[in-house]
Amino acid sequence: MSAALFRFRQFGALVRLGRPLFLTGGFVLYGLGAAIAVQAGACVSGAIDWRRFGWGQIAITATQLMTHYCNDYCDYDADRANTTPTRWSGGSRVLPAGELPRAVALVAALTLGLVALLATAQLVTRAGASPGAAVMLVLAIVLSWEYSAPPLRLHSTGWGELNTALVVTLLTPLIGFHLQADRLSALPVLAVLPLCCLQFAMLLAIELPDAAGDAATGKRTLVVRLGAGWGARAYQVALVAAYALLMLAVAAGLPPLAALGALAPSPIAAWQFARMQRGAYRDPASWDSLAFWSVALLITTAAGELVGFVIAR
């Protein structure tokens, strides 16, 4: 194998190690926060401040990638013990396959964490963002790192799923809103609470295929702690809670167009609920599909809300 081809393959492995497919959610959720600020007339500049938006997106994406590399580094033993990975669970599979040294993931994670911090500094020093936005971004960075890294290793304490739902589907849109409005309000919170429930459900679906490997290596996710049956019931409760909160949000002032956008993928939720009821969580052949449609439900619901807020301007 030529040196050039070897380096190309290593670069490809490095990219796959970062699981770029999962970055879509960061773009959609961050954009949702900014769109809410515009629709509410809350932008301090009267329109989108693209300099703030750009640096904020860099910080969010770098934080997300940092988390992916950090997770693969910290969960190396669990991923090696996982004999039932899917496209959406079990890590990127790059390190267990020996395609790259494990240390590469740590170096990449630390580098991306530094990029996120530098982008945050640029927001305050060059783009005029408030210190409140910087605090939120730093909090997101710290909580993302501690999901799988010591000393907290939140994914093994019973708090990892809640931590992820709060960072991804609450903090990310709130940061997008705050960077444009220099404040917070009830509207973005109303908009994203249903998404927090869908994120929680998605995490449970992703944990199902990993449970045996996680349990064998001390990674104590909620599915490991409480069992797959509990996870399936909690998944169903989270789906019901998402749409109940959406209806309450409309009553509290969420624009109807945003709610309609969020409701558009609801047939997926009904189908997933029924699959869990029929016991698909016990069938390894269904795990990849359950995870995929859980990811799709979250992203399409958030995108539907985003489109609704843009149209409602």
Question: 221-280: per-residue pLDDT in tens?
Answer: 999 999 999 999 999 999 999 999 999 999 999 999 999 999 999 999 999 999 999 999
Over the stretch 44-63, which tens digit does the pLDDT of each residue have?
Answer: 988 999 999 999 999 999 99
Bridge partners (DSSP) of residue 91 are none
Mean pLDDT of the chain: 95
On the question of pLDDT at 5 being above 80, the answer is: no
pLDDT at 2: 72
On the question of pLDDT at 87 being above 90, the answer is: no
On the question of pLDDT at 149 being above 70, the answer is: yes
Mean of pLDDT values over 126-133:
94
Show Cβ contacts of residue 109 under 8 Å, excluding neighbours closer than 6 positions: 66, 67, 69, 70, 73, 145
CB 307 within 8 A of CB 261: yes
Q: What global pTM score does this model have?
A: 0.95
pLDDT at 127: 96
pLDDT at 162: 95
pLDDT at 312: 86
Over the stretch 91-106, which tens digit does the pLDDT of each residue have?
Answer: 999 999 999 999 999 9
On the question of pLDDT at 3 being above 90, the answer is: no
On the question of pLDDT at 38 being above 90, the answer is: yes
Alpha-carbon distance of 174 to 169, in angstroms, equals: 9
Show Cβ contacts of residue 20 under 8 Å, excluding neighbours closer than 6 positions: none
On the question of pLDDT at 288 being above 60, the answer is: yes
Q: What percent of the chain has pLDDT over 70?
A: 99
Architecture of the domain delimited by 12-311: Orthogonal Bundle (1.10)
Mean of pLDDT values over 26-38:
97
Mean of pLDDT values over 102-127:
97
On the question of pLDDT at 143 being above 90, the answer is: yes
Written in H, E and C, the secondary structure of the chain is CCHHHHHHHHHHHHHHHCCHHHHHHHHHHHHHHHHHHHHCCCCCCCCCCHHHHHHHHHHHHHHHHHHHHHHHHHCHHHHHHCCCCECCECCCCCCCCCCCCHHHHHHHHHHHHHHHHHHHHHHHHCCCCCHHHHHHHHHHHHHHHHCCCCCCCHHHCCCHHHHHHHHHHHHHHHHHHHHHHCCCCHHHHHHHHHHHHHHHHHHHHHHHHHHHHHHHCCCCCHHHHHCHHHHHHHHHHHHHHHHHHHHHHHHHCCCHHHHHHHHCCHHHHHHHHHHHHCCHHHCHHHHHHHHHHHHHHHHHHHHHHHHHHHHCC
On the question of pLDDT at 156 being above 80, the answer is: yes
